[in-house]
Structure 1
């Protein structure tokens, strides 16, 4: 148990290298049935950008405890780092089934959705994350919308309701409009809000 708690302490001060070493010692001394330990080791591996190891440790945690939201979170994080965006979305969805108010999970799922070019769904996740109180999500969400505006409306097309882009929420109609722009740029001039 000594190395387990030592690993937690090192994780708390962001010394992931030492935390991983201590977690590995704890495992070698018999803590190999501890889902929490594997989840924390996965987190340290992910924070160190060792996504393959983080992925494997998260799977070990889930083999021990199939309802471990923390392990699903780390699995999703590793999948994202490995560019397995569809898998990451699926795993973050599992996290949200166990923890429906996890703002970071909504935010991270939104990031994966961006890479899958599912912008309206990503914006909805960023909005939900922002409503829960995760500030980074609002910033990313508004950056996507502002980038879309600059890309598609800086030319001859003007959006009359620009104030919608600076509000805390974007209507479903605007999200659909932006999505249509992404898939049908040629006809953007004929669209109205």
Structure 2
């Protein structure tokens, strides 16, 4: 299961529904060669490359789109994800930070940066990002669960168990298992 999120719109091509991204990519290459000033075309090309797991090419397309639309938080988020996929976590953090600077009201950007920070073993920074995410969107049990795991790493078992309990109440089976393993609560999590 992917632990971070891509925040793109539906691809703007008829091929997406047919799951033929290679054909769509050909169209995007033609479209970007005919119109080199439309950031959306480069973003779409980046999305297609991302879907096809060519993360370097995807990143290059997003970078080109950013030269044409430098205040697009979603593009910075998508670019950060290409760095995550390449295990270049420090650069991913920089890109997610830029997305947050442009739009600090998107919980997904905080989630993605928290994941990158976790990979860099910046657990306190990741907890802070997950907390910001929860402040913006408190209905995602996965975020409580992940923050709980980080709190365990920081030896904050009490708060970790509170996060696991909240996630379990929201339906997380992983959180239920974490409670049984790490928390001094009864099996129902109460």
Corresponding residue number in structure 2 for 1:27: 66
Provide Cα deviations, 1:32-57, integer angstroms capped at 9, x if missing partner: 21001111222332243221011000
Q: What is the CA–CA distance in structure 2 between the aligned matches of 1:168 and 1:48, rounded to whole Å?
A: 40
Corresponding residue number in structure 1 for 2:105: 67
Corresponding residue number in structure 1 for 2:166: 128
- Structure number with the higher helix fraction is 1
Q: What is the CA–CA distance in structure 1 between the aligned matches of 2:52 and 2:164, rounded to whole Å?
A: 28
> TM-score by structure 1 length?
0.68
The structure, 1 or 2, with the larger RCO (C-alpha pairs under 8 Å, 6+ apart) is 2
Q: What is the CA–CA distance in structure 1 between the aligned matches of 2:179 and 2:83, rounded to whole Å?
A: 27
> Quick check: 1:78 aligned with 2:105?
no
Q: What is the CA–CA distance in structure 2 between the aligned matches of 1:105 and 1:141, rounded to whole Å?
A: 15
Q: Structure 1 residues 121, 48: closer, same or farther in 2, change over 3 A?
A: farther
> TM-score by structure 2 length?
0.69
Corresponding residue number in structure 2 for 1:168: 188
Work out which of the two has the higher radius of gyration on C-alpha atoms and give 1 or 2: 1
Provide Cα deviations, 1:45-100, integer angstroms capped at 9, x if missing partner: 22432210110001111121122222111222222111111111111111001101
The equivalent position to 1:3 in structure 2, one of 23, 42, 53, is 42
Q: Structure 2: which 5+ runs fail to align?
A: 1-39
Q: Structure 1: which 5+ runs fail to align?
A: 150-162, 172-193
Corresponding residue number in structure 1 for 2:25: none
Give how far 1:25 is off. Answer: 2.7
Q: How many residues end up aligned between the 2 structures?
A: 151
Q: What is the CA–CA distance in structure 2 between the aligned matches of 1:9 and 1:131, rounded to whole Å?
A: 37
Q: Report 1:25-104 matches (<5 A).
A: 25-28=64-67, 30-104=68-142
Q: Structure 1 residues 44, 136: closer, same or farther in 2, change over 3 A?
A: farther
Coordinate RMSD, CA, aligned: 2.3
